[in-house]
Structure 1
Amino acid sequence: FSPSQLPYLIDGPTKLTQSNAILRYIARKHGMVGETEEEILCVDMLENQIMDLRMSFAQLCYSPDFEKLKAAFLEQLPGKLRELSQFLGSRLWIAGQKLTFVDFVAYDVLDQFRMFVPQCPELGGNLGQFLQRF
């Protein structure tokens, strides 16, 4: 642990760095990782799927070839969002009826896409409703 590394969290004797470690710690502490084995697996799986989306977007945004790569990213984005929409289905939250930490991760990424592609129809429907619940 190094307090010079940001972000960091000190919670009594617990000292953490790294955003995802902090997020997961807070989620476990407050029962936001899923309750059943099925919910926990769902949260784990979707966290990784959403992080893949986040990483591909970050790679695009920080690439010196942004303008060249943007079209390909925009071409594949609707399919990725449809997959997420189908997975969410009629549930209120990613893992079911209760909010989990992966919902915050999903919100963050979807909100970035909403700013990047405001007219993206895949960000309407159940994904749009998901965003509005926050």
Structure 2
Amino acid sequence: MSNYKLIYFNVRGRAELSRLILSCANVPFEDYRIEHSDWPAIKQDMPFKQIPVLQVDGVNLLAQSNTIARYLARQHQLAGQNEWEQSQADMFIDCVYDLHAGMRPVAREKDPEKQQEIFDKVNEEMIQPHAKKIEEILIKNGSGFLVGNALTWADIAYYAYFTTPMMDRLGGQVLESHPHLKKLIQHVGDIPTIKKYIETRPVTSR
């Protein structure tokens, strides 16, 4: 088995999906978290002067958050059971990327009341329509999962999105009209290896 070191800041952010994939697969890894003050010292050593970066076996470096997560999902049987399922999972990952992008205006706002107002607008215009579509997909698929009949990194990605500190703070009711999606999020969070990671990960504001 490969030796993994995942390098990122001490927040969930763009590394959390990879952390969750590794935890789900019960694969040991070094969760190497740095402070922003430490970043200049290692920036030049990173492939594109950005993080997260996955170091494999102490030598090979892989950059770009979704590329890292996709690699780990494929290595540990969480990418889909065939090429079609893998492509479907990739599709959902791209959807989650769009959802995260839609939250940027919320994250940039510092005033609590205005932040809630912006979130409510994003929720109405983007999150709720998408969640409704995902609900329909889950009902049609019938397995409780987004792709095929088993857990994939797509399911884990939706869990990561709907359980961020910001979502917990601003969007407690976003899944109330989407019971199948809500059940999926709860299922992923109850996976013993993921639950263990969540209980022991550093508490961060984002």
Give the structure 1 partner of residue 55 of structure 2.
10
CA distance in 2, matches of 1:129, 1:110: 12
CA spacing shift, 1:42–1:131, aligned 2, 3 Å:
same
Q: Which moved more, 1:80-89 or 1:5-14?
A: 5-14
**C-alpha displacement at 1:7, in angstroms?**
2.5
Uncovered stretches (5+) of structure 1, i.e. residues with no partner? none
Uncovered stretches (5+) of structure 2, i.e. residues with no partner? 1-43, 189-206
1:1-134 superposed matches below 5 A: 2-3=45-46, 5-12=50-57, 13-63=59-109, 66=115, 69-76=118-125, 77-89=127-139, 90-112=142-164, 115=168, 116-120=170-174, 121-123=176-178, 125-134=179-188
The total of aligned residue pairs comes to 133
State the TM-score, normalized to the length of structure 2: 0.56
**Identical aligned pairs, as a percentage?**
23
What is the Cα-based RMSD across aligned positions, in Å? 2.5
**C-alpha displacement at 1:43, in angstroms?**
0.7
Larger radius of gyration: 2
**What amino acid maps onto 1:73 in structure 2?**
V
CA spacing shift, 1:28–1:14, aligned 2, 3 Å:
farther
Provide Cα deviations, 1:104-126, integer angstroms capped at 9, x if missing partner. 21111122375122123235x11
Q: Which contiguous aligned blocks of 4+ residues in structure 1 show a shift greater than 6 angstroms?
A: none
CA distance in 1, matches of 2:45, 2:66: 16
State the TM-score, normalized to the length of structure 1: 0.81
Q: Which moved more, 1:18-27 or 1:60-69?
A: 60-69
Could you say what secondary structure the match of 2:118 adopts?
helix
**C-alpha displacement at 1:82, in angstroms?**
0.6
Provide Cα deviations, 1:30-55, integer angstroms capped at 9, x if missing partner. 12211223312211211111211111
Structure number with the higher helix fraction is: 1
CA distance in 1, matches of 2:123, 2:72: 34
**C-alpha displacement at 1:26, in angstroms?**
0.9
